[in-house]
Amino acid sequence: MTNDADVLQIDNLQTSFFIDGSEIKAVDGVSLNIPKGKTVGIVGESGSGKSITSMSVMRLIRNPGRIKGGSIHFNGEDLLQKTEKNMQNIRGNKISMIFQEPMTSLNPVYTVGQQISEVLQIHQNLSKKEALSKSVEMLELVGIPSPNDRVKQYPHELSGGMRQRVMIAIALACNPELLIADEPTTALDVTIQAQILELMNGLRKELGMSVILITHDLGVVAETCDYVAVMYAGQIVEYADVHTLFNNPKHPYTVGLMQSLPRHDMDQEELNVIEGNVPKPGEMPEGCRFAPRCPFASDICTRELPDLMETEDGNQVRCWVYSEKWDGDPEVNVKDDYKTARSQ
Amino acid sequence: MFVFTIRRILQTIPVLFGVSILVFLMMHLVPGDPAQVIAGEAASPQTIEQIRERLGLNDPLPMQYLNFIMNALQGDLGTSIRSGQPVSEEVFSRFWVTMELAFYSMILSAFIGLIAGIISAVRHYTIIDVVVMIIALFGLSMPNFWLGLMLMQFFSINLEILPVSGWGTPEQIILPVIALGTAGAAIIARMTRSSMLEVIGQDYIRTARAKGVKERFVIYKHALKNAMIPVVTVIGLEFGTLLTGAVLTETVFSINGLGRFVVESIRARDFPAVQGSVLVIALVFILVNLIVDLSYRFLNKRIDLN
Amino acid sequence: MLAESTVQESMTKPSNPHIENAKNIFKRLKKNKAAMVGGFLILLFILTAFIGPFLVPYGAGEQNLVNKLQGPSAEHWFGTDHLGRDIFSRIIHGMSITLYIGFFSVFIAAIFGVVIGIVSGYYGGKIDTLLMRLMDVLLAFPGILLALGVVTILRPNLNNVILAVAVFSVPAFARIVRGSTLAVKELEYIDAVRALGAGDVRIIFRHILPNVFSPIIVQATLRIATAILTAAGLSFLGLGAQPPTPEWGAMLSDGRNYIFDAGHVALFPGLAIVVVVLAFNIFGDGLRDALDPKMKS
């Protein structure tokens, strides 16, 4: 199980929310490895459990949510067994996180400098003065002009893109081994998005860290990720390296996502939208969770939940089509037949 | 900020004007002849005429108002009918007693209210939260004069450890301040709790946790400072409520303050005294509101996202 | 290049917002246990006010000087006062007075507040400025002070207390209603309704009033609690209901004179006030949570 090449190993993670006496399984048996120095994307619609997965890694799941089971090994140590105090030493230090909402993710009553300094004072025992001068360096690193002035400003004096840069500065201040970026560019303008992604990519190479990039945007994935996990209804349905995923997607859901992307190399009449909705947590289908929306669904799909299976190219997919038990059309090719199957 | 301050100060002028008119009219809104009312049913026409003369009731109304306001601006609030002393002297000899009572009560309210509110918010979804909020609800629903009587009965009469009445010594201060401050503590506790809960749900609190900040500091450094902004407003506004709550508390504990003076003047239908003290209390209240408003604006400057 | 695999959200058409709301509100209210308890208590108090006086053993003014200032006993559950009157019976008799003051003063305040708020918000301009300045002036008298002023002008008695409490509650209603009116007025559908030829009166009654209804109800419930407290305070000061009326504040005022020998005379009327005010506060909190989830605390 343990592998030196992986900085993080999530194994069978289960995180649930307990509301009004009923359990909502937000993350249901997710296993995922993050190789050192690589960027792994987690893709899915909202409610697929991708953010809850990342919050579980940080052990920041709050009441009424709870991590029910599984393990999360970080450099060989299980984060789920650590005390809260030990976790505090890891957060912002070994594992950092940046969020979707740069406008609201910074504390409005403290200056930018104070907020970057705080993390340095906590984890590196720097004095106030040292922390502040390191903060200026960090602002410079993330490409903020005149950092000596900016460091004294309050968040409301900065634009959204600037604030996200500050968030990145906070996250990277202690040289983390793993950065979790939860939709870091979603709330930003398109031009700023590209800048922020470029910055993150550059810093990842420079600092040699691993990145988990959570997004619903396949365009961002194509540009930045080495590996991709596609999540659906609390589970990973496909895991592959980025080239395979884009060239040869296997899961009908992944194919559906791909086809909803506008393409330049094909004559497209319309963007395809996957019909239907993500199943509500309380109303999970008995079999494959995607079956109700899947154009290929056969008997077994509605009866039994498939496992995440290894494919011949070493990737993983959670779909009956690729198993010996498949009881539908034996000649089916998900990628090529998706459109025809869908129109039927 | 400067423009806002000036504008906000200018805005109080029509309010001050309106308040002075209302206070002035108080005597004239009384059904019948105010001089007759003051003198009593059995008074002779000469007495009534005397009173009329003394209060300037023979002048046309606008003239009377003008006199009233000009005198008031010079610190002359007329003469008390009951005591024959200048109202301003009567009012100011009692003014600081009431201010002290209100001030100490505010300190107590803020102290208890903040602590209870923070505990409640931090222990959200637990029995502690429920219990604190039930106590707060009781505190909110209790008449302060009744609470005062009950405290007096228990501590002064049954246990005989605190004095029944008066104002000045530390022992005399305790019971009135608790009686008056309880409702305020309840209001501040509820406000603090809801403000804290709102702030704790904010993105920047998640950021603080993700930075590895200790939970204690997440609450006291990151959440509290933000949550305090609306709470400060409530605490400030509470001061006005305490100022008038003093009317009842002072009566219960026989404290010779402005509140009891108002009540006794009303009973004696001593109009100049009522007018003078009501005017002073309203002015203090307007001033406090102005300060609260400005400080809220100042504190909120950094929050204002757009 | 930036595509999102967003799933279309089902568009819900607001077919009839009012009816749907009423159903939802009741559902949410039913879920709120505290609110249900508060509501039940209020109903119980109303029932007591109506039939209680027929069930209690003594009349409100029934004196028995031999038995004066007796402590609680099987005969006199809450003891007797300085005139030997049964305190329990007097409290039950006083229930209707307390509720009458609470409901009636708030009702008057709500009527005036709604009219002022709607006129102010709907017509705007000079009349808005004038009315709101007037409300500011009323608000400049903190708490009970305004009520004291009104009682000074009029004679202290029960009806004037109601008026006094009403006057000091008007600004709260006026401000809330004005705010809601402004918000509703800005909605596009009001323009559409106007374009269809609806006059001001129709727009106000059909479209604005139903929308300001929820905040008014919440405010009214919480105001009743304040009104009862204020009225009791005025009576306690001798500036409200006058003895021998079994008004709780007035009873407390009596009790104050005997606090050294017979504490129960002040204890029980005060407890009665606490319980009734508590019920309205609980119910008001619950209503607010149910009617306006955003304000939920």
CATH number for the domain spanning C244: value is 1.10.3720.10
Give burial (CB, 10 Å; 0-12/13-18/19+) of A337.
Answer: middle
Mean pLDDT, chain A, integer: 87
Listed in sequence order, the residues at least 6 apart from C145 whose beta carbon sits closer than 8 Å to its beta carbon are: B244, B247, B262, B278, B281, B282
- Give the mean model confidence (pLDDT) for residues A87-98: 93
Element (H, E) at A317: strand A316-317
Q: Which two tokens stand for residue B1?
A: 């900020």
Contact C148 B240 (CB under 8 A): no
Chain B contacts of C238, Cβ < 8 Å?
267
Q: Which domain holds residue C216?
A: 32-64+74-296
d(CA B196, CA B225): 10
Residue C230 falls inside a structural domain: yes
Cβ–Cβ < 8 Å for C139, B241: no
- Give the mean model confidence (pLDDT) for residues A330-336: 81
d(CA C24, CA C32): 12
Mean pLDDT, chain B, integer: 87
- Give the mean model confidence (pLDDT) for residues A317-339: 84
- Greater confidence (C212 vs A231) lies with A231
Identify the residue among A60, A105, A106, A115 best suited for mutation to test binding to B, counting B beta carbons within 10 A and taking the highest. A105
Tell me how close the Cα of A156 comes to any Cα of chain B, in angstroms: 6
Residue C243 falls inside a structural domain: yes
The shortest CB-CB distance from C3 to any of A193, A219, A276 is to A219
Chain C contacts of B193, Cβ < 8 Å?
297
Q: Residue B302: is its pLDDT beyond 70?
A: no
d(CA C261, CA C279): 31
Q: Residue B185: is its pLDDT beyond 90?
A: yes
pLDDT digits (tens, 9 = 90+) for B203-237: 999 999 999 999 899 998 899 888 888 888 888 88
State residue C14's pLDDT score: 37
CA A22 remoteness from chain centre: 26
Chain A contacts of B224, Cβ < 8 Å?
none
Could you tell me the maximum CA-CA distance found in chain A, to the nearest angstrom?
Answer: 69
Q: Residue A1: is its pLDDT beyond 70?
A: no
How many structural domains comprise chain B? 1
Residue B154 falls inside a structural domain: yes
Tell me how close the Cα of B191 comes to any Cα of chain A, in angstroms: 20
Tell me how close the Cα of B121 comes to any Cα of chain A, in angstroms: 13
State residue C1's pLDDT score: 32
d(CA A195, CA C94): 74
Q: What letters, b where the CB count within 10 A reaches 16 and e where it falls short, cover B252-285?
A: bbebbbbbbbbbbbbeebbbbbbbbbbbbbbbbb
Measured between CA atoms, the residue of chain B closest to residue C152 is: B266
State residue C185's pLDDT score: 81
pLDDT digits (tens, 9 = 90+) for A265-285: 555 555 566 777 777 767 788
Q: Which domain holds residue B222?
A: 87-299
d(CA A207, CA B73): 72
Check CB contact of A184 with chain B, cutoff 8 Å: no
Chain B contacts of C152, Cβ < 8 Å?
26, 30, 266, 269, 271, 274
State residue C13's pLDDT score: 35
Q: What is the DSSP string of A160-218?
A: HHHHHHHHHHHHHTT--SEEEEESTTTTS-HHHHHHHHHHHHHHHHHHT-EEEEEESBH
pLDDT digits (tens, 9 = 90+) for A105-154: 999 889 999 999 999 999 999 999 999 999 999 999 888 999 999 999 99
Could you tell me the maximum CA-CA distance found in chain C, to the nearest angstrom?
Answer: 96
Contact C4 A216 (CB under 8 A): yes
Give the residue extent of every domain in chain A.
102-173, 253-343
Residue C6 falls inside a structural domain: no
Contact A256 C5 (CB under 8 A): yes
Residue B129 falls inside a structural domain: yes
Amino acid symbol at C190: I
Q: Which residues of chain C have pLDDT under 70?
A: 1-22, 25, 292-297
Cβ–Cβ < 8 Å for A232, A48: yes
How many structural domains comprise chain C? 1
State residue C8's pLDDT score: 31
State residue C292's pLDDT score: 65
Q: Residue B305: is its pLDDT beyond 50?
A: no
Which 3 state secondary structure label does DSSP give A133?
helix
CATH number of the domain within which B157 lies? 1.10.3720.10
Chain A contacts of C5, Cβ < 8 Å?
45, 216, 218, 256-257, 260-261, 273-274
Residue B255 falls inside a structural domain: yes
Chain A contacts of C28, Cβ < 8 Å?
none
